Structure 1
Amino acid sequence: MRYFIFSLQLFLCINFVHSQTSQNLYKILYDIKYLVDTNKSEVLNEQGVLFVEKNKSYFLTKTADQRDSIFHFNNRPIDYHANIKSKVLRVVKNHDNRSIFHYVQFLPGPMFNTTEEMDSLNWNILTDTMTIYNYKCQKASLEYRGNTWWAWFALDLPIADGPYKFCGLPGLIIKMENLKGNWSFDLSSISIEKNRFLNLSFLEKSKQVSYQELLKESDSWKYNRIERVEATGMIKYEPNERLNFIKLNLERIKKENNDIEVGLMHY
């Protein structure tokens, strides 16, 4: 733990200004924990990474990175029946125009994106403080799409960013959790990726929709998953097989009920 704290302080003090004018990226890792089923105690562990370059950033989960590598870069088929419980989260933030771009893909199908303003995140900065990794952190609260969130940010880490869509506080978000206790993000490490560019070209092919349209698409995928797979022509189910998959899908919907944004699936 001491090594992490020392390297983090040295990294920020020496390299922050330099990295803003070079090809270097911040690579900020978060440990993510969440309940798959809010009626049970099973906790899923996931890793998220936040890349920060000048005034832009890209957050994604390890599952999203693996799926994108298979589907978008290697052109390999996806197993549509795989029991994937991990969340596929992809978010790009542009701090110049203060926009948040959210990318969601319901396979089989195209990738969609929605846009919202950073100023729509109505933070309430509180007076509570706590020391995390030897940094004095301040507490903030946020009501966002069905969840109340608590965030701890460090003023000494001058990056107004954090996991998922969360950003806009006067310091890097070190720790974040929702009031229900079924979602949490904890900073695990920060490093520099030298002379690296993010290849986000595959996101340019996404279809821009409103948030309400995205919710409708989520419901369509949730309840018509089998029909959508058959519509590709890649798979044709026998009657008994089809009924079995429909039953399994309905069971999955009941069990996997802990969306980071209520009503919006991320698979």
Structure 2
Amino acid sequence: MAKHTFIALMMLSFLLPAQAQIGTTTQVIEPAIMECQYDHTAIRDTFDCSQVMKDRMILRIGKNVSQFYSWYTHYGDSLWSSPTGQQIAIKRTFEAIRTKNFENKPGERTPGYIYKSYPQKGVTTTYVIQVEPDLTLQKKPACLYFSEDTPKQTWEVQDSIKQIAGYSCQLAVTQFRGRLWYAWFSLDIPIDNGPWKLCGLPGLIMEAYDKQNYYHYTLTSIRTKDVEPIIFYNYWNSVFEQTTRLTYLKRAHKFITQYSEHLKYTQYDFLELDYQP
């Protein structure tokens, strides 16, 4: 975990983004009508498939905007951004090291926050916070973002049917940015949305995984009451700098291969392979 986080931070430091900006404070975007939680597994080191990263992902859906992020990453961000939170984070980090149980260690798992239809309809914005805890709180972390037209996905609906979390689901398949994706969606919840950047089906995506099963999302719960609003999180009040999706991926990949030829694991957004020549 520590190795993966270190390399993610180093990758970000090698990016040279343009000087565009988005919001510099945490702010409510709009109320949410639904919150879905997904169990997420990722195999980042394809040379050792026994090492599986586990995460809990949140998909919060509003009337116009949705957001998707790691519960653990968000929890770590919220702690490290204040003196009181940092003391809690440090204590729990040392406890994790002492017990060799890193399950509850505050920190990044799946990096980044993804917003669909934000800042406007038809646009997907992804932003990454470079978390380098500064115990003096005198240095704000670098924050990067890139926006793109909401990706189009051409799905082929199959005949296969199964139950997920009590909902009847149907299978669909698509080729998207270098990976073959399988998604189980439910017409019982006629909302065009799902984990990560997956969308374009006539019902909520309950489960999704790529052909190699390196990345897997499984719905565990849905809430429609007492749901927190959709929030643009910026606990450090940092200035965001703009880059592009492909520039980010290419430079991150270049750094990884220069750092070690053996580090072929996929860190941030290497879910997408279309940056490769």
* TM-score computed with the length of structure 1 as normaliser: 0.67
* Structure 2 residue identity aligned to 1:64: T
Structure 1 residues 204 and 85: alpha-carbon distance in aligned structure 2, compared to 1, 3 A threshold: closer
Match of 1:210 among 231, 244, 269: 244
Unaligned runs of 5+ in 2: 1-29, 91-96, 133-140
**Whole-Å Cα distance in 1 between the matches of residues 166 and 230 of structure 2?**
31
Write the distance in 2 (CA, Å) between the matches of 1:204 and 1:170: 38
The residue aligned with 1:51 is 60
SS at match of 1:65: helix
Instruction: Please state if 1:100 is matched with 2:134.
Output: no
C-alpha displacement at 1:154, in angstroms?
A: 0.2
Using the aligned pairs only, state the percent identity.
24
In the alignment, does 2:211 pair up with 1:179? yes
Structure 1 residues 227-246: aligned runs within 5 Å: none
Q: Residues 257 and 264 of structure 2 are in contact (CA less than 8 Å); yes or no, is this contact kept in structure 1?
A: no
Alignment CA distance shift 1:55-1:73 (3 Å)? farther
Instruction: Give the secondary structure class of the aligned counterpart of 1:120.
Output: coil
Q: 1:263: how far off?
A: 8.4
Rate the CA distance shift 1:216–1:67 in 2: closer, same or farther, 3 A: farther
Q: Counterpart amino acid of 1:261?
A: E
Query: 1:76-155 counterparts in 2 under 5 A?
Result: 76=86, 86-94=109-117, 97-107=121-131, 110-155=142-187
CA offsets 1:106-143 (integer angstroms, 9 cap, x no match): 45562222222235233333343333334221222222
Q: Quote the residue 2:202 is aligned against.
A: 170
- Aligned with 2:231: secondary structure? coil
SS across alignment from 1:63? helix
Contact 1:63 1:88 in 2 (8 A): no
* Cα shift readout 1:167-224 (whole Å, capped 9, x = no counterpart): 2211110110110122110000011352733431529842222222212442476478
Q: For the structure 1 residues 91 and 73, does the alpha-carbon distance in structure 2 shift closer, same or farther, using more than 3 Å as the test? A: farther
Task: Provide the secondary structure at the position in 1 that maps to 2:168.
Answer: strand
Measured at CA, do residues 106 and 30 of structure 1 come closer, stay the same or move farther in structure 2, by a change above 3 Å? same
**Contact 2:187–2:203 (8 Å) recurs in 1:** yes
Query: Distance in 2 between the 1:164 and 1:254 partners?
Result: 24
Distance across 2 between alignment mates of 1:38 and 1:65: 26
Is the contact between residue 161 and residue 168 of structure 1 (CA under 8 Å) also seen in structure 2? Answer: yes
Higher helix share: 1
Output the amino acid matched with 1:142. Answer: T
When structure 1 is superposed on structure 2, of 136-145 and 99-108 the one drifting more is 99-108
Which sits farther off after the overlay, 45-54 or 204-213?
204-213
Bigger RCO (CA 8 Å, 6+ sep):
2
Cα displacement (A) at 1:144:
2.1
| Cα distance in 2, alignment partners of residues 76 and 212 from structure 1 | 34
Query: What are the ranges of 5 or more consecutive residues in structure 1 without an aligned counterpart?
Result: 1-21, 225-248
Letter in 2 for 1:206: F
